[in-house]
Amino acid sequence: MSKMQYAMVMDLNKCLGCQTCTVACKKLWTDRDGMGYMYWNNVETRPGAGYPAGWSEAGGGFRDGRVAPGEIPPIGKYGVPFEYDYSQRLFEGKGKPVMPHVDPTNGPNWGEDVGDTDRGETHFFYLPRICNHCTHPACLEACPRKAIYKREEDGIVLIDQERCRGYRQCVRACPYKKIYMNEVAGVSQKCIFCYPRLAKGTPNACAKQCPGRLRFVGMLGDPLSPVHQLVRVHKVALPLLPGKGTGPNVYYVPPFNPPRRGAYGKGILHDPRIPWKSLEALFGPRVKEVASRLAAELEIAQSGGKSDVLQLLIGRDDKVRYRIPAGKGATG
Amino acid sequence: MIRRDFPIRQPIVSLVAAAVLLGSAPAFAGFTLAQGKETPLLLNRTPPMFATDRAVPNRDLHARAMARVEGKVLRVTLSWDDPTEDAVAGTKRAAYGSDSIYRKPTGRTDAFGDAAALMLPRKPGARNPGIMMGDRDREVRMVLWRAGSKVETLHARGRGTVEKTPDETGMTAEPSRAGIRRSVTFTVRDFDPAVPMAFAVWDGGTGDRNGYKWYTPWYRFAR
């Protein structure tokens, strides 16, 4: 376990699914050969298949204290990233329409924005996902090459590209399926939590570019960091699939659960539109407790009081949302 | 029906293991490759790494080896049954039509390549190195052929310690195929007949890679 740990909190109530974070990450980190299908950051809808499709049912994590690698998702679960032969059209004068080089049958956000129906009412919310830089990374535990390491100074989990031999035990072991095999380079690759940016005091690209200002970044142990405040003080942020036993360090403020139609005057905890079991499946049994806390804060604000939690969640500027330690003197 | 070249393969290994435990490990376990004679190999299967691993593939590769030593040069041809051609993509850049400016997209995420390796102790010694990549006191060197990739030379002192040895130029491997029979000829230019050799085969089609493999005990060369 690292002494210091970077963490990110994402407020799901503010995510509008614009994919700006996805594009920021893609352009910065995964724009090279063999990385076409890699989305170190993706935004999916829940309920939904996710990316890769069915990742939350593909196994991984720990079982009875031992790492339990699951499946390696086949390319069909991601969808073959298609390219276009522009040269036919642009340079060779063949006049043929520019078509994908394969017939697309799947891809990121394929068939999404559909959600689910509960007693005649539809619901869904957006779920942005990156590597969770877990406290107990199953990928690290499973790697037979010891190519994966967790940095002592900030808890970021990285793959040594020189040691990795592309065996993909990490892909199997990650319960979030956030490690990707680069077939061209012959190694596995993943989100690096933008550590080169953080070293310069600049927030992660996905966080910095987010128009919804829903991401908070800082050291989990730093009492002044927004992530510490949201996770440990106000206790309104929860990790994804906590039952997998990896101790994720990306946390989510669960969606305010609006009441069903016709439930006028009821609080957000009564007759919710998103079934509790759906939220509990993602964020664990504490999700109701967090929702109660958020509902209480909402009531304070709506009755003219000041809610510190909601004020923080507004995330007015960079100083509020990010606390990036500078150099070695960082607290964590 | 599975044909077995060695009907008592497990007891042989157990006897050797027992001898090691009793401190009376023979330097020569009785497996030999005679000059120019094609010899059926005893293949063992590594156990599963994780409780969630699939069952071990139940098939016999009918692996054989034929070794020739001329001067200090060893040429040993390892052959085995492999009906499927499984290769990793390698590092070639893809081009669509006449166009090479586009990124090569990943076509497969769960495929593994066929591979084979020859392992030798770095130095002759009274005891053979551990069969799983040598041990702390006895380094091994290897030449690894992987379908679709460059031949690599490696060295190790036990499991999980494998490193590349790019400056080791005396070991090479050359593949060939005849129907379902796949062969790899390993050449070692500074071979010492006093050291034994061992082989490993990975069948990419069944998910073999790393520790999921077929492997032989140490074989000694005999003229």
How many angstroms separate the CA of residue B207 from the nearest CA in chain A?
10
Is B150 near chain A, with CB under 8 Å? no
Total number of residues shown for chain B: 223
Q: For residue range A231-276, what is the model confidence (pLDDT) as tens digits?
A: 999 999 999 999 999 999 999 999 988 788 876 777 677 888 899 9
Flag whether pLDDT at B25 surpasses 50. no
Which of B88, B91, B99 is nearest residue A87 as measured by Cβ atoms?
A: B99
**A185–B91 C-beta distance less than 8 A:** yes
- Banded pLDDT at B175 (limits 50, 70, 90): very high
Concatenated DSSP letters of A45-83: EESS-TTTTTGGGS--SEETTEE-------HHHH-PPP-
Place of tokens 């503010």: A14
Q: Which two tokens stand for residue A305?
A: 């009081």
Least CA distance to B158: which residue of chain A? A145
Q: Hey, is A302 helix, strand or coil?
A: helix
Residue A194: predicted pLDDT: 98
Residue percentage of chain B with pLDDT more than 70: 78
Which of A34, A84, A169 is nearest residue B106 as measured by Cβ atoms?
A: A34
Chain B residues with beta carbon closer than 8 angstroms to that of A81: 105-106
Least CA distance to B50: which residue of chain A? A68
- Banded pLDDT at B29 (limits 50, 70, 90): low
Is A55 near chain B, with CB under 8 Å? no
Least CA distance to A142: which residue of chain B? B50
Least CA distance to B212: which residue of chain A? A167
Chain A residues with beta carbon closer than 8 angstroms to that of B102: 83-84, 86
Chain B residues with beta carbon closer than 8 angstroms to that of A144: 49, 159-160, 210-211
Q: What is the mean pLDDT of each run of 10 residues along chain A (332 residues)?
A: 88 97 97 90 96 97 96 94 74 71 88 89 95 98 96 97 94 98 91 97 97 98 97 98 98 89 73 90 96 93 96 96 72 39
Is A184 near chain B, with CB under 8 Å? yes
Alpha helices in chain A (DSSP H): 20-29, 75-78, 86-90, 138-142, 169-173, 195-199, 205-208, 226-228, 276-283, 287-302, 308-314, 318-321
pTM of the model: 0.89
Is B100 near chain A, with CB under 8 Å? no
Instruction: Report whether the peptide linkage leading into residue B48 is cis, meaning its omega lies within 30 degrees of zero.
Output: no
Residue B103: predicted pLDDT: 54
**A182–B50 C-beta distance less than 8 A:** no
Q: For residue range B34-55, what is the model confidence (pLDDT) as tens digits?
A: 999 999 999 999 989 999 998 8
Is B210 near chain A, with CB under 8 Å? yes
Distance CA A279, CA A166 (A): 35
Which of B52, B103, B110 is nearest residue A72 as measured by Cβ atoms?
A: B110
Chain B residues with beta carbon closer than 8 angstroms to that of A181: 106, 109
Least CA distance to B160: which residue of chain A? A145
